[in-house]
Amino acid sequence: MTETLLAIESSCDDTGASVITDAQIVSNVVSSQLDHRDLGGVVPELASRKHMEAIGWVVNEAVSKAGIKKEDLNAIAFTRGPGLMGSLLVGVSFAKSLAQALSIPIIEVNHMEAHILSHFIDEPVPAFPFLCLTVSGGHTQIVQVDGYNKMKVLGHTLDDAAGEAFDKAGKIMGLPYPAGPHIDRLAQKGNAIFPLPHPKVKDFHFSFSGLKTAFLYFLQKQVKDDPAFIEKNKNDIAASLQSTIVDILLKELIKASHHTGIKEIAIAGGVSANSELRKQLIAISSNHEWRVYIPKLEYCVDNAAMIAQAAWFKYKEKEFAPFNITADPRLRV
C-alpha cells in the first residue's frame, strides 16, 4: 500500500504545497509573492493576505500534479515556524482544517530543519554526522546534524542574517527586494576590489550589522566625491560585498569542521543559491578533504518539498502533532 503526505509551506512570502509518496517527492508547487519587490522588504500583513489568496489553488495543483485525490492522503504536514505569525497561521489553519475534514493526522515541521533535510530529497545524501551552513533571509547558523531529528546549533548570527546583509546592502545600492540574487548577478561581472571589514566574533558565530554600516559609510563617502560612483562601479561593489560575506561564512564553517572533525559539509537556505558561495565551497573542499552537498536551486528558496521530506521522517516514526497546536514564529532548531 502506498503512503502519501501533503505538505504546506507559508512561513514568509512563498506559498508552497508538495506531495510525497513512499519517500519520493511527486509534486512541488510554489507561488512567490512579487508584491514586496518595490516595498523594500516583506510586508507581513500583505504577505498573510496573499497566502490566503494562493493557498487553495496551490494545494489543489500539488494534489492534481501528483495524480492523486485528497482522499488518498495519509497525513498533512505544515511549517509551524520560524517565520511571520500571520503567514504561518494561514498554512497551519489550512492544514488542520483539511486534515480534520479527511480525519487524518497532522505533522509539524520546523522550517530551518526542513532546509537542512532538503538534502535527503535527491542523491547523493550526506552521511551523519554532517555540518550544515544554513543561510537564509532570517537565519545564519552552523548546525551539526547527527540524525534526522537530532540537530545542534554550533553557531548563529548575533544580529543580521546573511540574506539580510545582502538585502540591506542591496537596498543601499538602490536594488529591489530581495537584493541577494541581483548582487549575485552584478558580481559575476565585477571584481572584489573594495576592502570591507570582517567582524570579530566568537568562534562559529556571525555578525553582519557592522559590515552593513561600514558598507553604507563607504558608499556615502564615495558618492560625496562622485554622485555617479554606485552606478559606475556597481559590479565591483557587488563583487566586493559578496566576496566579504562568503569569506565570513566559510571561515567559520572551516573552524567548525576543524573543531568537530566533521568533513561532510552541506549548505542550505536562500543564500545557498549564491553562485560565489557555491563556487568557493567547491574550491576549498579538497584542501579540507570535505565532501560537499549543495542543494538544487529549486530547494534553496522556500519550498514545500523540503517540508514534505522532513515530514516523511516524522511520519515513519508516527510523530503526529496534536490538533490544538499553534504556529510558533520563533521556533528553534
Residue numbers 274-303 binding Zn ion by CB under 5 A? 302
Cis peptide before 178 (omega within 30 of 0): yes
Residue numbers 231-270 binding ligand KG4 by CB under 6 A? 269-270
Give the interface segment with ligand KG4, choosing from 44-52, 73-81, 172-180, 254-262 (CB under 6 A). 172-180
Which of Zn ion, ligand KG4, none interacts with 126 (beta carbon under 5 to 8 A by kind)? none
Per CB under 6 A, the list member of 108, 113, 160, 167 interacting with ligand KG4 is 167
Residue numbers 79-138 binding Zn ion by CB under 5 A? 136
Please tell me whether residue 281 binds ligand KG4 under the rule CB under 6 A. Answer: no
Per CB under 6 A, the list member of 15, 21, 33, 136 interacting with ligand KG4 is 136
CA dihedral 100, 102, 108, 113 (to 10 degrees): -160
Closest CB 165 distance from ligand KG4, rounded Å: 8
Per CB under 6 A, the list member of 138, 155, 190, 295 interacting with ligand KG4 is 138
Closest CB 261 distance from ligand KG4, rounded Å: 29
What amino acid is encoded at 38 in this protein?
A: D
43 or 102: CB nearest ligand KG4: 43
Which of ligand KG4, Zn ion, none interacts with 105 (beta carbon under 5 to 8 A by kind)? none
Report the residue number whose CB is nearest to ligand KG4: 270
Please tell me whether residue 301 binds ligand KG4 under the rule CB under 6 A. Answer: yes
What amino acid is encoded at 59 in this protein?
A: V
Please tell me whether residue 134 binds ligand KG4 under the rule CB under 6 A. Answer: no
HEC-encoded secondary structure of 129-198: CEEEEEECCCCEEEEEEEECCEEEEEEEECCCCHHHHHHHHHHHCCCCCCCHHHHHHHHCCCCCCCCCCC
Q: What angle do CA 279, 281, 286 make, to 5 degrees?
A: 110
Give the interface segment with ligand KG4, choosing from 66-74, 180-188, 223-231, 247-255 (CB under 6 A). 180-188
7 or 99: CB nearest ligand KG4: 7
> Do 300 and 14 meet the contact criterion of CB atoms below 8 Å apart?
no
What's the grid cell of residue 78? 505544515
Which of ligand KG4, Zn ion, none interacts with 184 (beta carbon under 5 to 8 A by kind)? ligand KG4
Please tell me whether residue 180 binds ligand KG4 under the rule CB under 6 A. Answer: yes
Give the whole-angstrom CA distance, residue 77 versus residue 310. 9
Closest CB 70 distance from Zn ion, rounded Å: 26
Which of ligand KG4, Zn ion, none interacts with 17 (beta carbon under 5 to 8 A by kind)? none
Which of ligand KG4, Zn ion, none interacts with 166 (beta carbon under 5 to 8 A by kind)? ligand KG4
Give the interface segment with ligand KG4, choosing from 176-184, 231-239, 314-322, 325-333 (CB under 6 A). 176-184
Contact footprint for Zn ion (CB under 5 A): 136, 302
